[in-house]
Amino acid sequence: MRSLGAGVKVIAENRRARFEYFIEDVIEAGIALKGTEVKSIRQGRANLSDAYASLEGREVILYNMHVSPYDPASQFNHEPLRPRRLLLHRHEIIKLRGRVMERGYTLVPLRLYFREGLAKIELAVAKGKKLYDKREAIAKRDRDREIDRAVRERERRH
């Protein structure tokens, strides 16, 4: 868990999303959670790796976000992969619907965090990358790494 400034505590990040998708737009949404989910998330026991969001009617639903059961709750626990409703204003949902209706766009969660005690999720309108785009990203990352390595080596010698 790391912090993004005052009052923000990051719980989980979906780093793979930035590699798999072109991020077009980012929006912050609240999440409708049960008490045991909040306690488990506060312990940092959440995973966004396979999560995605979908528009259903007038709601946005988050699927496949894994929140581990909260051990002290035993029989009153939540289901780890249950669908969770995202809390957005109606105009935000309409805007998202317009973007997602465009060919190839999807809703991908990027980050789960607490802001001033409330659980929030950073949701991205994203377009999937093709294989050649991913290869290009890997090549750029490798080039940057080589440059950094050469600069450090040169500084070390002088």
- Tell me the average pLDDT across 49-75: 86
What SS3 state is found at 34?
coil
- Tell me the average pLDDT across 115-137: 86
Residue 105 placed within a domain: yes
Helix H or strand E encompassing 31:
strand 21-31
Residue 52 placed within a domain: yes
| pLDDT beyond 60 at 1 | no
Distance CA 52, CA 110 (A): 10
Residue-number span of the structural domain to which 36 is assigned: 2-128
Residue 155 placed within a domain: no
CATH of the domain at 40: 2.40.280.10
Residue 46 placed within a domain: yes
Residue 66 placed within a domain: yes
Residue 145 placed within a domain: no
What are the helix (H) ranges across the chain? 15-20, 35-42, 90-101, 131-157
Domain count, the chain: 1
Residue 62 placed within a domain: yes
Residue type, 74: S
Residue 58 placed within a domain: yes
Q: Give the burial class of 21: count Cβ atoms within 10 A of its Cβ; 0-12 exposed, 13-18 middle, 19 or more buried.
A: buried
Q: Which pLDDT score, from 0 to 100, does residue 2 have?
A: 52
Both tokens assigned to 123: 């949701």
Q: What is the tens place of the pLDDT at every residue in 9-61? A: 888 888 888 888 888 889 999 999 888 888 888 888 888 888 899 999 899 99
Q: Are the C-beta atoms of 23 and 130 separated by less than 8 Å? A: no
Distance CA 42, CA 100 (A): 31
